[in-house]
């Protein structure tokens, strides 16, 4: 009981430290350094080698935080591998993945083996043990950081072949590295314990992999069942975290129990179990969006706790003695990536520029690399801590150098769209015909929605003082007059004159100017058919109020969005221009949680859209959501 009370106090104190670490990390973000750097340095500062706010004994009692976070990191990595997003670039992705994985693993393993005498904990090792450490190092060389890559892509608003290949290869390698680690860990354990490496070992290894896949599938079904239940999302998140911790506990139990009934120990890799579960849920279940939402909501808290604890557990005394080794490993990994990326890009027949700079997106490391390092430390306690310390130092270097290199490469290939946001929010314009209070209210409302608005009028009003937008006074209603105000630059024209004047303007636009979105305020319903024949959108005030009230009755929320009363939501039409979205079903799109697709218009016809509706290039999609999310969607849909 006393022990439980002590653990509770330690956990409470650690939570307080994590809150402070989160604030420190935000400061590092302001000076253009990654969040992980802030978390790690905060952990080092409060750890036993600095302020000693967290003692070594306390760190050991917080092992469950590490296990829970490691399982969560694997779940998050699995959700990033969405097969339907990479189907159109599979050739380039496969060759880049193979080239980098093979070269990085081989060169990293060879380097670690030959510098063994320089590494303090490897000097007295046997030949077999050195090989074991070398292949584990080579495996961690392969690990990347999808979260850091996604953060850079979002910041640069990057889109294109190079960017798609980079994020796809990053995610796939983070999945494959856990498979590779599972195999190498079994081989390393055999080498270190000097167990016979024969046909029986291969059978055991295959059996362990099959068992891992089975447990991964079972975990996917359990998580899917939990997500499908109608309970609070907070409770779902807690259960998912507990399940992740349970995977580690079950793995330890199975290893100890198997020894008592079998002549060997069953090694079920918890990271692989979790990544298989999330991969299955992401690609073959209906719980993909809900799982993604949980990962996004819980992620920041888990990462803050894990990286802070990692910093606190870092052995500074070992790091001081091995920093030269960390630098050697860092530069060797960099060289391996340059060679691997060039070979992979060449085999994929990518453009020459991509071949030269194709290594830049893959320098960054974070969650999975750290997870693998601490797995080694946990399984081989005699030297694992020293191994993890060196690897953490390398990962910190990669985390500092990696993001700037990725940003630079995006700029070099011309796939940065930082200014595209301006196009989405501000490069919309409208011309309003008519100078009256309703037209002025409309113009000011459009200004608030980031439209560029101008007014055209055939009469001068002395009692109206306008300073917030430009007014054109026309002498006559003719093509020359319309051309004089550069009417062709406006994508939308709103006619609020008399029916006769509206019809004349509408007819001139239709016959002389070209296709425009023309909206007409009607006075006499007899004109409605004439305007429709010219392709105009007609608003009849005599029926608009009753229809709007009817819409409020049927759907108050939708009517509120239409009237702009929902401040956090807006509605836009976006054209599908990206060829990679052609043929993709709406249910397979990766959309922000607060976005809803209302309709799809194709060749002038409104489709009754549902999850299985497949997009076509040129479709006009009506979407409702926050401005920030809609901006992300506009980038996703554009070429």
pLDDT at 426: 45
pTM more than 0.75: no
- Check whether residue 461 and residue 483 sit in a common domain: yes
Q: pLDDT per residue over 209-228, tens digit each? A: 888 889 999 999 999 899 88
User: What pLDDT, on the 0 to 100 scale, is given for residue 7?
Assistant: 64
How confident is the model over 48-77, as a mean pLDDT?
77
CA 51 – CA 471 distance, rounded (Å): 67
pLDDT value, residue 29? 65
Looking at the structure, tell me whether residues 379 and 438 fall in a common domain: no
- Please compute the mean of the pLDDT values over residues 120-139 and round it to a whole number: 88
In this predicted structure, the answer to whether residue 419 has a pLDDT above a threshold of 60 is: no
The residue range of the domain holding 612 is: 568-637
Task: With a cut of 70, say whether residue 432 has pLDDT above it.
Answer: yes
Specify the number of domains making up the chain.
Answer: 3
Least confident of 73-77, 143-147, 225-229: 143-147
pLDDT reading at 191 higher than 50: yes
Give the residue, 418 or 522, on which the prediction is more confident: 522
Co-location of 89 and 38 in the same domain: yes
Return the closest-CA partner of residue 21 out of 438, 389, 307.
Answer: 307
Shared domain for 79 and 188, answered yes or no, is yes
pLDDT bin (cut points 50, 70, 90) of residue 425 is very low
Considering Cα of 232, then 233, then 237, then 240, what sign does the dihedral take?
Answer: positive
Domain contains 37: yes
Distance CA 505, CA 419 (A): 35
Asked if 287 and 281 touch (Cβ cutoff 8 Å), the reply is yes
**Per-residue model confidence as pLDDT tens digits over 545-573:** 676 676 666 666 555 655 555 556 677 77
Token readout for 145 is: 């950081």
At residue 87, the pLDDT reads 67
* Most confidently predicted of 192-196, 344-348, 413-417: 344-348
pLDDT higher than 70, residue 405: yes
Residue 152 pLDDT greater than 80, yes or no: no
In the sheet with 605-607, reading across from the earlier edge strand, the strands are 570-575, 620-625, 596-602, 605-607
The reply to whether 378 and 346 lie within a common domain is yes
User: Domain ends where: 393, 418, 443?
Assistant: 418
Cβ(338)–Cβ(390) below 8 Å: no
Residues 531, 427 share a domain: yes
Residue 2 pLDDT: 46
Confidence of residue 421 (pLDDT cuts 50, 70, 90): very low
- Range of lowest pLDDT (47-61, 64-78, 435-449): 47-61
13: pLDDT confidence band, cut at 50, 70 and 90? low
183 shares its domain with 309: yes
DSSP state of 362: G
Q: What pLDDT is attached to residue 558?
A: 59
Verify that 468 and 358 share a domain, yes or no.
Answer: no
pLDDT of residue 522 exceeding 60, the answer is yes
203 lies in a domain? Answer: yes
- What is the per-residue pLDDT for 218? 92
Position 220 scores a pLDDT of: 92
- What is the rounded distance in angstroms from the CA atom of residue 464 to the CA atom of residue 435? 9
Q: Give the pLDDT confidence score for residue 410 in this predicted structure.
A: 86
529 shares a domain with 469: yes
Which residue would you say has higher pLDDT here, 152 or 328? 328
Pairwise CA distance, residues 402 & 406, whole Å: 6
pLDDT at 427 over 60: no
Is there a contact between 531 and 522 (Cβ–Cβ < 8 Å)? yes
Range from 107-116, 384-393, 417-426 carrying the lowest mean pLDDT = 417-426
pLDDT the model gives residue 33: 65
Give a yes or no: residue 607 inside a domain: yes
Contacts of 350 (CB under 8 A, 6+ apart): 92, 96, 161, 165, 358
Domain contains 548? no
| Whole-Å CA distances, 598 to 288, 601, 614, 626 | 20, 10, 14, 14
Q: CATH number of the domain that 612 lies in?
A: 3.30.70.1450
Q: How far apart are CA 49 and CA 53, in angstroms?
A: 10
The tens digit of pLDDT for each residue in 270-288 reads 888 888 898 898 888 888 8
What mean pLDDT, rounded, does the chain reach? 79
Average pLDDT over residues 294-306: 82
CB 249 within 8 A of CB 241: no
Tell me: do 208 and 273 sit in the same domain.
yes
Same domain (yes/no): 80, 35: yes
**Whether 84 and 130 share a structural domain:** yes
Residue in the block written with tokens 């999330």: 278
């Amino acid at each position: 009981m006393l022990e439980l009370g002590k653990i509770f106090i330690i956990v409470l104190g650690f939570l307080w430290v994590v809150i402070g670490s989160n604030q420190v990390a935000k400061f590092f973000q302001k000076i253009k350094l990654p969040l992980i750097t802030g978390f790690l340095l905060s952990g080092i500062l409060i750890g036993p080698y600095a302020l000693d706010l967290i003692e070594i004994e306390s760190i050991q009692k917080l092992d469950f935080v590490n296990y829970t976070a490691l399982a969560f990191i694997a779940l998050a990595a699995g959700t990033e591998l969405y097969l339907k997003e990479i189907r159109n670039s599979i050739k380039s992705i496969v060759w880049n993945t193979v080239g980098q994985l093979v070269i990085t693993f081989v060169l990293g393993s060879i380097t670690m083996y030959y510098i063994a005498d320089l590494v303090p904990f490897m000097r007295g090792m046997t030949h077999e043990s050195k090989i074991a450490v070398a292949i584990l190092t080579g495996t961690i060389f392969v690990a990347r950081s999808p979260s850091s890559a996604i953060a850079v892509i979002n910041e640069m608003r990057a889109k294109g072949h190079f960017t798609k290949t980079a994020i796809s290869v990053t995610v796939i390698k983070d999945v494959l590295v856990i498979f590779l680690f599972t195999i190498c860990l079994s081989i390393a354990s055999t080498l270190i314990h000097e167990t016979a490496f024969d046909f029986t070992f291969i059978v055991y290894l295959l059996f362990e992999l099959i068992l891992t896949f089975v447990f991964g599938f079972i975990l996917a079904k359990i998580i899917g069942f939990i997500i499908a239940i109608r309970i609070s999302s907070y409770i779902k998140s807690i259960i998912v975290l507990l399940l992740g911790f349970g995977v580690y506990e079950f793995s330890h139990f199975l290893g100890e129990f198997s020894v008592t009934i079998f002549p060997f120990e069953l090694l079920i890799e918890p990271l692989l179990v979790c990544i298989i579960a999330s991969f299955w849920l992401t690609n073959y279940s209906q719980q993909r969006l809900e799982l993604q939402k949980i990962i996004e909501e819980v992620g920041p808290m888990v990462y803050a706790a894990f990286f802070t604890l990692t910093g606190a557990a870092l052995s500074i005394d070992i790091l001081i003695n091995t920093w030269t080794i960390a630098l050697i490993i860092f530069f060797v990994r960099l060289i391996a990536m340059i060679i691997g990326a060039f070979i992979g890009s060449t085999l994929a027949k990518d453009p020459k520029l991509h071949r030269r700079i194709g290594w830049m997106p893959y320098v960054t490391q974070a969650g999975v690399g750290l997870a693998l390092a601490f797995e080694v430390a946990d399984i081989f306690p005699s030297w694992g801590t020293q191994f993890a310390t060196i690897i953490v130092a390398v990962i910190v270097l990669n985390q500092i150098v990696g993001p700037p290199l990725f940003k630079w490469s995006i700029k070099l290939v011309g796939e940065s769209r930082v200014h595209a946001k301006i196009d989405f929010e501000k490069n919309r314009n409208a011309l309003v015909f008519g100078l009256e209070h309703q037209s002025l209210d409309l113009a000011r409302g459009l200004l608030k929605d980031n439209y560029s608005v101008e007014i055209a009028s055939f009469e001068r009003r002395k009692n109206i003082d306008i300073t917030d937008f430009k007014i054109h006074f026309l002498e006559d209603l003719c093509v020359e007059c319309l051309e004089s105000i550069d009417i062709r630059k406006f994508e939308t024209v709103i006619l609020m004159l008399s029916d006769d004047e509206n019809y004349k303007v509408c007819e001139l636009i239709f016959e002389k100017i070209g296709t425009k979105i023309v909206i007409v305020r009607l006075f006499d319903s007899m004109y409605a058919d004439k305007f429709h024949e010219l392709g105009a959108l007609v608003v009849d005030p005599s029926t608009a109020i009753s229809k709007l009230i009817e819409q409020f009755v049927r759907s108050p929320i939708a009517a509120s969005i239409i009237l702009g009363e929902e401040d956090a939501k807006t509605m836009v039409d976006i054209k599908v221009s990206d060829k990679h979205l052609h043929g993709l079903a709406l249910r397979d799109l990766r959309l922000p949680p607060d976005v809803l697709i209302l309709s799809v218009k194709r060749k002038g016809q409104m489709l009754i859209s549902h999850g299985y509706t497949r997009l076509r290039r040129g479709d006009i999609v009506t979407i409702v959501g926050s401005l920030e999310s809609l901006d992300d969607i506009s980038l996703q849909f554009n070429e």
